[in-house]
Amino acid sequence: MKFYTKEGNWDLVGNNIPVFFIQDAIKFPDLVHAVKMEADRAFPQAGSAHDTFWDWASLMPESTHMLMWAMSDRTIPRSLRMIEGFGIHTFQFVNAKGKVTFVKFHWRPKLGIQSTLRDEALKLQAADNDYHRRDLWESIAMGAFPEWELGIQAFDQKFADKQPYDVLDPTKIIPEEDVPLRMIGRMVLDRNPDNFFAETEQVAFCPANIVPGVDFTNDPLLQGRLFSYLDTQKSRPGTANFHQIPINAPKCPVMNFQRDGMMQMAVPKGRANYEPNSLTAHGEDGGPRECPVTGFTTSSTQTGDDEQGDKLRVRAELFADHYSQARMFWKSMTENEQAHIASAFVFELSKVVLEQVPPRMIGNLRNVDEDLAKRVADGMNIDLPRRAQPRREVIDMKPSPALSIQKKMKETLEGRKVGILFADGSDPAEIKAVQKAVEKEGGVTFLVAPKVGGAKVKGGAILKADGQLAGSPSQLFDAVAVVLSEAGCEMLMTEGAAVQFVMDAFGHLKAIGASKAAQPLLDKAGVVADDGVTDLGKDFIAAARLRFWEREPSVRLLA
């Protein structure tokens, strides 16, 4: 967020997850190199399910809490309008008298938070690679403006000193049950850009941009970002490889993991471009390593006269607790959400070829929860490995219900979309009734037919569709209504896209409202009657506000 104030710009740069992978910005290049496409093959793109990321992550216990969030439903949101935002770091508020208060920033969506299922997300990407951007643009265009409240957690040093974690550690949160949110403002997106490149693509953020009343803390990751973002935006020589220009180049051999970028003159080989890595254990060149004799070390410098001791580039001892909050996150989830997390770990680690990586990662997970680790090991069909030795004793923190999507999900149709499948002979009165009921609840409807030109409905009129069946699968919608005549149903029984439309809606735990004549199509799609399968009346509207999590064990195997 860029706040344009009378005292300058304030850039609050964050994420939809309140913690991060690393505690020290010096590890940023390693994180980015490890998660990006592998250096020697240029794939996989835009995915973390591969060797080098999990090799690195399994060797970085401080990433465990972030991994729990990343493997949770938080990272497959229903809409950008339904995600929470976090400033991640602990900042400071300073009042007119100079009093300092610690503060964390939160954005809470008016529509509440909602997620998709992994299978649904994969099919959404295939159906519409611009789904999230289109959803946001269309909502603003129709006047359903996305809105967030800005909340803060404010606390003092006395509170900080009592916690079993360091409040400056970017891999930790402060549970809302301990410090409730105070809402201090709101943000409404009330227009789309006139020119996307000029108004959005060109924007440059820098966390160092603050205004009076806001200040930084000694969070080591934040301190690194204050420099790195500015450095990135400047790029004065036009390339990250300025050190290869002759006047800047060292006269002695230098080995590091800096690769690629504009005007790269060298040809680095191998797949290792991050640290730590264990590729040497797999018979590959693991690349350069730190030299304890001639390598860089931070010197000890005396602090000012008003302070005591040395100023060092070190982390507080409490930073070494990498698992307690990850355990708290796990225990805060519903059983269904826990199954999604365990299954996500299995999905990701099943893509890893390096044999030493999955056991090492599961060894870390044993410090989070024994059941989680066992479920992941069973999903991989490997023996439960030895528990990783934590640097600090893992403690049990109270669960935080505020971390669960399902416990906080709003039962509403506001901001949601209902797909209505119809064909020749469908009753326009039934379609109109569903549209009217959904719109009364604040939702929108989308008409789907075998042809985008529509279908000849009961009475002989042509009802135009908003989308073609083959290009408008049910994963685009929060609930579906199937309004068919007997003849229309018989025709769609031989259309794979129609069967898949209903099958996916059921498999993605959505409400399905159907006319009586549509029952054969539901039967062919394997739909089994439950509370989420209704007629087209009031029961459908009530069901469409929900997801039916209890259905999931009957439609897919979960870890």
User: For 413, which DSSP code?
Assistant: -
Mean pLDDT of 360-385: 98
Q: What's the whole-model pTM score?
A: 0.83
* Percentage of the chain modeled with pLDDT above 70: 94
CATH of domain 2-240: 2.40.180.10
pLDDT tens figures, 509-528: 999 999 999 999 999 999 99
Mean pLDDT of 534-557: 96
d(CA 498, CA 491): 10
- Is residue 241 predicted with pLDDT exceeding 80? no
The segment(s) of the chain belonging to CATH 1.20.1370.20 are 320-407
- How many CA atoms lie within 13 Å of 414's alpha carbon, on the beta-carbon side? 16
CATH of domain 320-407: 1.20.1370.20
Q: For residue 460, what are the contacts with CB-CB under 8 A and spacing of at least 6?
A: none
Cβ(530)–Cβ(310) under 8 Å? no
The segment(s) of the chain belonging to CATH 2.40.180.10 are 2-240
Burial class of 344 by CB neighbour count within 10 A (0 to 12, 13 to 18, 19+): buried
The residue among 342, 271, 315 whose CA lies nearest residue 558 is 342
Cβ(174)–Cβ(400) under 8 Å? no
Tokens 């959904």, located at residue: 438
Span of 180-184, 236-240, 243-247 with lowest mean pLDDT: 236-240
Mean pLDDT of 64-80: 97
Amino acid 308: pLDDT: 60
Amino acid 302: pLDDT: 47
Amino acid type, 355: E
Burial class of 252 by CB neighbour count within 10 A (0 to 12, 13 to 18, 19+): exposed
How far, CA to CA in Å, does 431 sit from each of 435, 500, 515? Answer: 6, 21, 10
DSSP state letters, 308-322: -SEE-S---GGGG--
Class of domain 413-554: alpha beta
d(CA 493, CA 523): 10
Amino acid 480: pLDDT: 98
The segment(s) of the chain belonging to CATH 3.40.50.880 are 413-554
SS3 track for 18-50: CCCCCCCHHHHHHHHHHHCCCCCCCCCCCCCCC
- Is residue 329 predicted with pLDDT exceeding 80? yes
pLDDT tens figures, 407-418: 999 999 999 999
| Helix (H), strand (E) at residue 521 | helix 519-524
Amino acid type, 527: V
The residue among 446, 450, 430 whose CA lies nearest residue 494 is 450
Pairing of strands 214-215, 91-94: antiparallel
Cβ(501)–Cβ(468) under 8 Å? no
Q: How many helices (H) and strands (E) does the chain have?
A: 18, 18
Q: How many CB atoms lie within 10 A of CB 245?
A: 12
User: For 295, which DSSP code?
Assistant: S
pLDDT tens figures, 274-318: 889 998 877 788 888 887 776 656 555 444 445 566 666 678 899
Cβ(322)–Cβ(64) under 8 Å? yes
Cβ(281)–Cβ(356) under 8 Å? yes
Cβ(143)–Cβ(491) under 8 Å? no
Amino acid type, 159: F
- Is residue 390 predicted with pLDDT exceeding 70? yes
- Is residue 438 predicted with pLDDT exceeding 90? yes
Phi then psi for residue 52, to 5 deg, are: -65, -35
Span of 173-177, 265-269, 301-305 with lowest mean pLDDT: 301-305
CA angle at 506 for the pair 503 and 512, rounded to the nearest 5°: 110
